[in-house]
Amino acid sequence: MIDGFIKVAAVTPEIRVADVTFNKNAIVAAAREAYKNGAKLMVFPELCITGYTCGDLFLQDILLEGAKAALKDIARETAKMDALIYVGLPVEDEGKLYNMAAALNKGKVLALIPKTFIPNYGEFYECRHFASGRDKKGYMDLFGEKVPVGNDLLLKCINYPKMVVGCEICEDIWVPDTPSTALALKGATVIVNLSAGDELVCKDEYRRNLVSMTSARLVAGYIYASAGEGESTQDVVYAGHDMICENGEMLAESKLFSTGIIYGDMDLEKLIHDRRRMNTFEIKTSDKDRVIGFSFDEVRETKIERSYMGQPFVPGNERLRKARCEQILSIQAGGLYKRLKHIGCKNATIGISGGLDSTLALLVTARAFDMLGMSRENILSVTMPCFGTTDRTHDNAVRLTRSLGATLKEVDIKEAVNKHFSDIGQDSEVHDITYENGQARERTQVLMDLANKNNGIVIGTGDLSELALGWATYNGDHMSMYAVNVGVPKTLVRHLVRYYADTCNDKETTEVLLDILDTPVSPELLPPTGGNISQKTEDLVGPYELHDFFLYHMLRNGYAPKKIFRIAKIAFEGKFDEETILKWLKTFCRRFFSQQFKRSCLPDGPKVGSIAVSPRGDLRMPSDAVADLWMKTLL
C-alpha cells in the first residue's frame, strides 16, 4: 500500500445452487489463492454462499441456517489472512429476509450490508423473498456478537486511512440514486458491488459502461464481482462478468462465461488527489456517520502488475489516435479562428524553421484560415536563417510554405545578430547562452515588426513540453500574440504532423512533412557540423518521451517524484535504464520549478487536454517556489 497502491480482487467462484458446503469450500479456496497473490481486498458475488437462483428455497430454514454456518466457517478459515473480504448470503432478522453482504476481516464479521433496491421485473422476482434494506439500520446478533447492519456503513482502515470501503449490491448500481453516491460523499474511496445479473445480448456493454461511469462520477475505485455459470438454471444464464475500475479507467475485466479471479492495482492516492483538485466533489462527514475501523497487520509495498503507457498523452489504439489528432487540430484551429475573427484580423505571421513545432503551427494556421474563408496567401511564413540553420531544415521550411499556399519571406538575420553582438560586446566565437538567445530574440523582433507592418498577429510555435522545462528563450520564441501549440506535448506533436501527412491530398505536402518528421529536434542555434545539425535538444535536456511522462503524472495525478520514478521503471523497462530515468527526472523537477517565471507570462493559447500550464487556467504556481521537498524524494 506504499505510494497508494493496493491490490484488489474480484472473484467468481464455481458454485452449486443450494450446496452451501461446496460453495463455502470454493470461496475459501479462491480467497487463499487471491491472498497468495497479494490481494488485500476481495469481493465475491451476490448470495454466493447459497447461490442466487435458489428461488423459494430461500424460505427454507435449512438453507438459511446452512448459509449462516458456512459464513462462520469462511470467517474462521480466512482468519489468518490480512485482508478484507466481502461475501454474499441471505440473512433473516426480525422476521424478514435480507440479501446481504458480509464483510470479513481476521476471522470476524465486521458488518452486514443489506441490498437496498430489490428488483421485481422481467426475470427478477426478489421481492418474493427479500425485503429492502433501505431502512435496516442498527445491529444484529451473530455468532454471539453485535454486528453493525446497514447500507450506510463505511469500513475504514485504521493504519491506512486512505482506504475507506463502501458496499452496494447488484441492482443498487442500476438506479438513479445509488447507495454508492452517498457512501462516496461520506468519504468512501472504494465501492464494492456483489452482483448476480444474468446475461443478455449487449448487456455486457451496458454493464461495462455503467460500472465505468459510476467509478468516474464518484471518483472512486469500483470492484464488481458477478455470479458465474454455476448459477445458470432454467430460463437464465450467468456469465461471471467481473470488473475493476479506477475513476473510469478499467483496470481489469474478466472474459464472459468464465470463473476465476481478476486483480487490479488500485491507486488510492490518485483517487484522493483527483477529488482534492475538484472543488465540486464535496465530502461531508458527520459524527452520525457509521464508520467501522479495521486494520492490516502491515502496510506493505504492493507489487505493481498494472501497466503504464510510456506516452500517456498518445492513445495506443490507432483508431482512437487518429480521432484524437483530428479533435486536437480542430481545437487548435478553432481557438485561432475565434481570435482572428474577434479582432478582425486577416493576416498572420509565423516563423517557420523546418522543425516539428513550427510545422504544426503553420498547419493549424492554414486550417483556421480555411475555416474563415480567407486566402492562405495572407499567412506570412518567415524563414530566418542564421548561424545554425542547415540546408535540410531551410529547404523543408520553404517547400512546406509553398505546398500549403502561404506567402514565403526570407530574412537572413546573421548580419543583424552580429551587429547586435558588437553593440553589446558579445564575442561571436563564444557560443554561450547569450549567443543562442540573441538569435531567438532577433527572430521574435522580426516577426513582431512584420506582423505590425502587415496588420497581422504573430502565431506562437512553442509546445507544452518546452514550457514545462522552460526550454524557450524568454521574450524570444517564448512570446507571441497567440500560441496555438501551448497545450500540445512534444510526443503528441509528432503524431499530429504525421496524421496531417497521412490525410492530406497533396503529395508535395506529404513528402515534406515526412522528411520533417525524420529530422532531429533542434533549436539550430549553434553552427552545424559538416552541414548537419550539431545541437540536438534531447541530448541536452533529455528525452521528451520521459519528460512528457513525468509531466503527465506530476500534474494530472499529483504523483511525487519518487512514485513517478517507480512507475517509470515499469513503463520504460527495456528502453531506459534506472540511472537514465533518475537523471532526467531530477532534471525535470529542477527545471519545472526554476522556469515557472516563463510560464507566468505566457500568451493566450488553447487548452487541448487535461494538462496545461497557463497561469490564467490550470497552473497557479509561484515563480519562486522551492523544489527541495520534491527533489529529496529522489535521494
DSSP state of 406: P
Query: Do residues 12 and 162 lie in contact, with contact meaning Cβ atoms separated by under 8 Å?
Result: no
Sheet holding 348-351, edge to edge: 407-410, 379-383, 348-351, 457-460, 482-483
Query: Do residues 40 and 1 lie in contact, with contact meaning Cβ atoms separated by under 8 Å?
Result: yes
| DSSP-assigned letters across all residues of 273-294 | HHHHH-TT------TT--EEEE
How far apart CA 177 and CA 98 sit, in angstroms, is: 20
According to DSSP, the residues that pair with 102 across neighbouring strands are 87, 112
Q: Give the list of residues 6+ apart from residue 630 with CB closer than 8 angstroms, or none.
A: 560, 561, 589, 593
Catalytic residue among 115, 270, 586, 598: 115
How far apart CA 114 and CA 130 sit, in angstroms, is: 10
Query: Do residues 60 and 15 lie in contact, with contact meaning Cβ atoms separated by under 8 Å?
Result: no
DSSP state of 341: H
Query: Do residues 4 and 267 lie in contact, with contact meaning Cβ atoms separated by under 8 Å?
Result: yes
| Cα–Cα separations (whole angstroms), residue 384 to 122, 389, 458 | 73, 9, 15
Query: Do residues 292 and 153 lie in contact, with contact meaning Cβ atoms separated by under 8 Å?
Result: yes
Catalytic residue among 7, 24, 40, 46: 46
How far apart CA 408 and CA 380 sit, in angstroms, is: 6
How far apart CA 78 and CA 109 sit, in angstroms, is: 11
Q: Give the list of residues 6+ apart from residue 56 with CB closer than 8 angstroms, or none.
A: 128, 129
Q: Is 170 annotated as catalytic?
A: yes
Q: Is 115 annotated as catalytic?
A: yes
3-class DSSP state of 318: helix
According to DSSP, the residues that pair with 402 across neighbouring strands are none
**Alpha helices per DSSP H over 470-517:** 490-503, 507-517
How far apart CA 134 and CA 498 sit, in angstroms, is: 56
Catalytic residue among 157, 170, 345, 386: 170
Q: Is 414 annotated as catalytic?
A: no
Through-space distance between the first and last CA atoms of the chain, rounded to whole angstroms: 21
How far apart CA 361 and CA 595 sit, in angstroms, is: 23
Report the catalytic residues: 46, 115, 170
